[in-house]
Amino acid sequence: MKRKRIASRLFNIFLLAVLCYLILTSLSDRNKTIDISEVPQIYINEEDELFVNTTGCRISATKPLSLYALSFMEPIEPVLCRMEQLMVAETIGDRNYLVRNISRHGILSWRQVSCIYREFVRVDDAHNKYISLKFFKLTDRTRYLEVGTGLQHIRTWCWVDFGRIIFHDVLYFLPPLPQATNRSTELQKRKLSVMILGVDSISHMHYMRYFHRVADFIEHLPHTEFWGYNRVALNTYPNLIPLVSGLSVSEMEESCYKDELNFDKCNFLWNEFKRAGYRTIFAEDTDTAGLFIYRKRGFQKQPTDIYMRPLMTEIESHSIYRTTFDLKCTGHRLYGEFYYDFVSRLIPHMERQLFFSFLWNMHGIHDVFPFAKFVDKDYLSILTRLHEKGVMENTLILFMGDHGLRFDTFARTAPGQHEMSQPLLIAIYPEWLKRRFPLAMSNFERNARSLITTFDLHETLKDVIHLDRLTDANVRNRTLYLTNERGISLFLPIPQSRNCKTAEIKQHYCLCNELKSVSTHESAIQEAASFAVDRINELIKPYPQCKVLSLQSVRSAYRAKSSTYRGNYRVSQVMVRLKTTPGDGNFDATVLITMFNGEKTDMKLGGPVTRTDRYADQAYCVQNYRIEMYCYCL
């Protein structure tokens, strides 16, 4: 016992020493590097003070392991789902089977187990319908149950003891693999598939904190890491609509979603790739928070060839249960694990045909700061399989986020506020692109240090459909006529003069603004905070079920180091982080203050007032996604 106590004390001393080392390192001279074995050394460069340094934009470099971040990096235990995975889906030859797992945990005999499976098909994005039902019993001798062929979606559940459910899950079988032909092989050699591998709420710095194995793996692949990727709006929907449509939300909704019935009339990237002969895939690991579903109507017609949504709809309706951190399970799997399995099972399809895939993962990582630690291994597995199966030889992969963490407490720190606007973006591509299109790829790599947005990514992917646009001659010709507009292909040189205004990034989200901390007691700061709350109250005025808000306090404030001048008018910018009552809502607001000869003449918002904490049940009385963050229901 004495030896154990001594060992325990030594271990505690060791942990204390490591903590002191981390703190001292973070406070040390900027020219020193952080020597932490868990973080890939190639990413920590203290001499790099600017991520972007152009005439139009300067973005200050930030550190993934600031003292603020370290205080949030608490270890957490792996999150587990309590139900046993009694059955899995497996296709053998051209036949589909429900396969009983070997485990018999808590079951005296398989003869006790009764089951039902129901096959279902998609009706629309909100509904499925059942087309068959079968009752069966498990036995000690039977392990495989044949259920059909081809694409199938199945809900199954099993019980013992006259009704005690021991298994409930949704299983699926993908369509048969396409036949490989000489034509398809030659087409793959001449063209490029696309994979948007999205991780919700992952900032560039958060990736550096937790995706150590993925970062090491990518470092040995042809890739470009983009340091000036700036969000254009608040959350997932308005940040990704420019990527998939090339339009802002207001433009897209005006053109094809006026009646708000569904998005069937809208032209998205997968439609363009489909017309070019590509197989299309869309998968998200959520039902209620889907890109086209949250407070919206989704699609009536299935938008892509392979579509994961019917599975998530069925899970959310029938087999969901919750575990640690209020995360969601089905069977023995977290939603995220269900999604990773779906993506992995797509890989044989990707080997044999040109494809465009939009894959988006949000479960866990969207809500829990250290959950990214567990996601690292899942993405390493996916990327490793893509590499081993040769898919990367003909695919452009955009490994990306939409914004940083928005609701975690970290979002209310200074680094958290910055990270919300700097999501991850890494492009992985085959080596032959550089040989075949040297000028285009030279521009692509140089743009790693340019201010870019999802508008640019849309134009980039349109070029992938027509690779002949990327010949040196065509790139030179296109460059001659290039204007400083919001959407520019990354295969062309982003103008040095680009700034947030020309890129159509509102000042509230703009990373080019260098801010300095100021006293919250300044009269101008208090006035700006009150102005922001007044604007909130104007927005909710048409909703009498929402209480009028009052300014409770200003938590912190920042002023832009430089002002803009228009003749004798000077426009200064302040950012206030405030709290309102009732509801204790935490908000950020950017306010532009116009002065003439030292006197204030005007105030206006530099973008929407944004919320940095959860409002959940506070907004139960409104269904408008633009209003709900401001509403405290009566």
Which of 8-17, 197-206, 553-562 is modeled with the greatest confidence? 197-206
372-388 vs 335-352: helix crossing angle, rounded to 10:
10
Question: What percentage of the chain carries pLDDT values higher than 70?
Answer: 89
3-state secondary structure of 50: strand
Q: Read off φ and ψ for residue 439, nearest 5 degrees.
A: -70, -45
Q: Band of the pLDDT at 102, cuts 50, 70, 90?
A: low
Q: Band of the pLDDT at 504, cuts 50, 70, 90?
A: very high
The sign of the torsion formed by the CA atoms of 435, 229, 355, 338 equals positive
What local confidence, expressed as pLDDT, does residue 243 receive?
Answer: 99
What local confidence, expressed as pLDDT, does residue 140 receive?
Answer: 76
Least confident of 206-210, 401-405, 481-485: 481-485
Does 10 have pLDDT greater than 60? no
CATH class of 182-501: alpha beta
Does 16 have pLDDT greater than 50? no
pTM score, two decimals? 0.90
CATH class of 515-630: alpha beta
What local confidence, expressed as pLDDT, does residue 27 receive?
Answer: 38
Does 173 have pLDDT greater than 60? yes
Question: What percentage of the chain carries pLDDT values higher than 90?
Answer: 79
Q: Please state the rounded mean pLDDT for residues 381-403.
A: 98
Does 14 have pLDDT greater than 90? no
Does 559 have pLDDT greater than 70? yes
Q: Band of the pLDDT at 22, cuts 50, 70, 90?
A: very low
* DSSP, res 124: E
Instruction: Tokens for 201, please give them.
Output: 């709420």
Is the bond leading into 582 cis (omega within 30 degrees of zero)? yes
Does 540 have pLDDT greater than 90? yes
Half-sphere exposure of 524 (CA within 13 A, CB side): 21
Point out which residues pair with 357 in neighbouring strands: 195, 281
Whether residue 308 contacts residue 172, with contact meaning beta carbons closer than 8 Å, is answered with no
Q: Please state the rounded mean pLDDT for residues 343-352.
A: 96
Distance from chain centroid for Cα 503: 21
**Residues recorded for the chain:** 634
Task: Report the b/e string of 576-590 with b at 16+ CB within 10 A.
Answer: bbbbbeebebbbbbb
Does 366 have pLDDT greater than 60? yes
What local confidence, expressed as pLDDT, does residue 488 receive?
Answer: 98
| CA-wise closest residue to 309 among 335, 270, 332, 278 | 335
Q: Please state the rounded mean pLDDT for residues 372-385.
A: 97
Residue 606, H or E segment: none
* DSSP, res 374: H
| CA-wise closest residue to 144 among 84, 93, 81, 83 | 93
CA distances from 441 to 190, 237, 433 (A): 17, 30, 7
Whether residue 615 contacts residue 629, with contact meaning beta carbons closer than 8 Å, is answered with yes
| Other Cβ atoms within 10 Å of 363 Cβ, number | 23
Q: Please state the rounded mean pLDDT for residues 448-465.
A: 99
pLDDT in tens, 563-599: 887 777 889 999 999 999 999 999 999 999 998 877 8
Whether residue 371 contacts residue 365, with contact meaning beta carbons closer than 8 Å, is answered with yes
**If phi over 0 gives left and psi between -120 and 50 gives alpha, with beta otherwise, what is residue 269?**
alpha
Does 199 have pLDDT greater than 90? yes
What local confidence, expressed as pLDDT, does residue 593 receive?
Answer: 95
Give the separation between CA 423 and CA 236, rounded to whole angstroms. 11
pLDDT in tens, 429-440: 999 999 999 999
CA distances from 518 to 353, 420, 521, 553 (A): 57, 21, 9, 15
Q: Please state the rounded mean pLDDT for residues 405-419.
A: 91
Whether residue 498 contacts residue 450, with contact meaning beta carbons closer than 8 Å, is answered with yes
What local confidence, expressed as pLDDT, does residue 188 receive?
Answer: 62
| Fold match flag (182-501 vs 515-630) | no
Per-domain residue ranges of the chain: 182-501, 515-630
Where helices occur in 35-122 by DSSP H, the ranges are: 67-70
Q: Strands, E, within 190-317: which ranges?
A: 193-199, 223-225, 279-284, 306-307
Strand pairing report for 87-92 and 95-100: antiparallel
Give the separation between CA 462 and CA 478, rounded to whole angstroms. 14
The sign of the torsion formed by the CA atoms of 615, 618, 620, 621 equals negative
pLDDT in tens, 214-241: 999 999 999 999 999 999 999 999 999 9
- Degrees, nearest 5: CA angle 622-510-577: 55
Whole-number average pLDDT of the chain: 90
Measured distance between the N- and C-terminal CA atoms of the chain, rounded to whole angstroms: 60
**If phi over 0 gives left and psi between -120 and 50 gives alpha, with beta otherwise, what is residue 471?**
beta
What local confidence, expressed as pLDDT, does residue 189 receive?
Answer: 66
Least confident of 8-17, 35-44, 208-217, 274-283: 35-44
Whether residue 204 contacts residue 422, with contact meaning beta carbons closer than 8 Å, is answered with yes
pLDDT in tens, 53-80: 999 999 999 999 988 899 999 999 999 9
| CA-wise closest residue to 159 among 207, 113, 97, 100 | 113
Whether residue 202 contacts residue 364, with contact meaning beta carbons closer than 8 Å, is answered with no
**If phi over 0 gives left and psi between -120 and 50 gives alpha, with beta otherwise, what is residue 507?**
alpha
